[in-house]
Amino acid sequence: MAAAWKSRGTRVRHLGRTGRATTVLLAAGIGMLSPGAGVLPAWAQPTTVAPDDGGYYATAPPLDGFPVPADSGKPDETYEMSKGCVSSGLGEHIDIKSRPWGQEYLQIDKLQEIVRAATGSAGKGIKVAVIDTGVRQHPYFQDRVESGGDYVATPSKLPPGLEDCDGHGTEVAGIIAANPDKDKGIGFKGVAPDATILSIRQSSQNYSKKDQTSTPAASSSNVPTSTGESQKPTSGSEIPPTQKSTGSGSGQSDLGGTQPGQTNGGRQQSQPGTAGSLNTLSQAVVRAANAGASVINMSVDSCRLADGKISDPERALQAAMHYAVEVKNVVVVAAAGNITDTCKQNDQLNPQQPKTIVTPPWFSDDVLSVGAIDTSGGVASFSVNGPWVSVAAPGTEITSLDPAPNSTGLANLTIEGGNQPGQIQGTSFAAPYVAGVAALVRAKYPALNARDVMQRIKSTAQHPAAPGGRDNFVGYGVIDPMAALTSNVSNDAMPSIKPVQSIADLPPADGRDWTPIVVALAGAGGGLVALLITVFVMHTARRKQSTPKPPSARV
């Protein structure tokens, strides 16, 4: 009997431990329902951050005393023309009456009225350096294009920088400072139509190294441009189905020439069969800064895989840009880059460790890097994402100057492969919108230094709904030129942007307040636990009372 009693007692003690464990688990479960509870410890929280291997990704390494590159003022290689230059073979000079959507979206006409009222002009006295494929003297510039230098070749008949064999630079400069005749009723106009353009030709896809030239230069007399007979400019909705365009570079047509388009290749530096390198790009930045430019626009870039390293040519460009901003007080603007076969989109899990690095945008401390949006207001599909993107601007369905020699018209189409006309698009054409706005801000606020101007443009942008008011798609948002020109920005020189998110004091979408439900569940759970404990104690007490005493305890 004693053995039997001991066995039953052991079972009772085991039941006691189980009951206590059950009680603890129930209490923990009820606690998770309580308001304010439920925060997992750090070790239990999921993470998507890749381990840091010590490489440079989102932020470029510091200069560490790297010297400003010396400007040679000449090409780094011997280049010669390998393809025919853009031309208007049929001699058409077409004026497009409608305003580009980007111009309407940014309220360019109203901006110019504000600046004219304050200064008497829309950018007069502001020099914008366009480091690109050259800029030709289109009539709508009214002789406001200056020769800045040439790192491709020395034209025999034109001043350095004023030959645009590709057509790209002329279109970029047109968005910044073109000023068509008023009596023609043309809707298109540059953002800062009284500004001066300093043209520096630094790259070309129609020139190549002498030992790489495989075909003779084609005649330019029979190469139609985007204003040729087969691709008459349209208002946009009339554009026929075309080959999809994904870059901002020139594309070779079946007619033997190239057009200022955006075929898959982009305006990349050091590509085989092209002219231009990061070395000459850095020299061109120094040259523009020393020549008195107030703003620099670079719609050219270099794209590579992120490998945790930085090359000497990249450091030279970083040093040149820092020199321009910090020493020469120049606002530097650059295209964020376009997706191509060799420039992949940054769509990796951890945005702070991009797989693709784009320069100059990578050096975000000293440059306004510009992504592109389309007519919907959304991010353009070709715009490269990255932690360095500063702002965004219109980059599709572009209208600008016809770059063909002797043309007095406009262009809104470009030739793609197979003679198909396609829209002009790319971050190359979003950047000059920002450069033009920077020129207007500098004209209206001459006391602001370069960093103040860059800060003003970022802080007045339409911030995305993201932590900190920025993301990797549009940076601090689509530019708001009206706000940049009129807002009372209290601290233009603050070292970093810290936008405050506005929190709407509104009930949830379904109008239900979950607090009473949580409290009720917690109370019910607590009552259930108390009931279980009471039942368990009473059951245990009854068992003890009904248990027979061992023989030794009997009288």
- Enumerate the active-site residues: 132, 168, 428
DSSP string, 136-168: ---GGGTT-EEEEEESS---SSS-TT---SSSH
Using DSSP, state whether 372 is helix, strand or coil.
strand
Name the β-bridge partners of 414. 422
Side-chain-side CA neighbours of residue 420 (13 Å): 13
Q: Is the peptide bond before 446 cis (omega within 30 degrees of 0)?
A: no
435 phi and psi angles, rounded to 5 deg: -60, -40
Cα three-residue angle 437-441-447, rounded to 5 degrees: 155
Which whole-number Å values give the CA distances from 59 to 220, 316, 359, 444, in the listed order?
44, 16, 12, 32
Whether 522 contacts 36, CB under 8 Å? no
DSSP helix/strand/coil, 353? coil
Alpha carbon distance 423, 416 (integer Å): 9
Of 254, 402, 389, the C-alpha closest to 333 is: 389
Inter-residue contact 124 to 443 (CB < 8 Å): yes
Structure tokens belonging to residue 506 = 């509104």
What's the burial of 177, exposed, middle or buried (CB within 10 Å: 0-12/13-18/19+)?
A: buried
Token readout for 319 is 């040093």
Neighbours of 332 (CB within 10 A): 29
Task: Give the count of alpha carbons within 13 A of 60, CB side only.
Answer: 27
Instruction: List the structure tokens of 434.
Output: 């920002």
| Torsion over CA: 336, 338, 339, 341 (sign) | negative
Phi (first) and psi of residue 392, to 5 degrees: -135, 160
Q: Is the dihedral of CA 469, 247, 275, 166 positive or negative?
A: negative
Partners of 268 in the β-ladder = 301
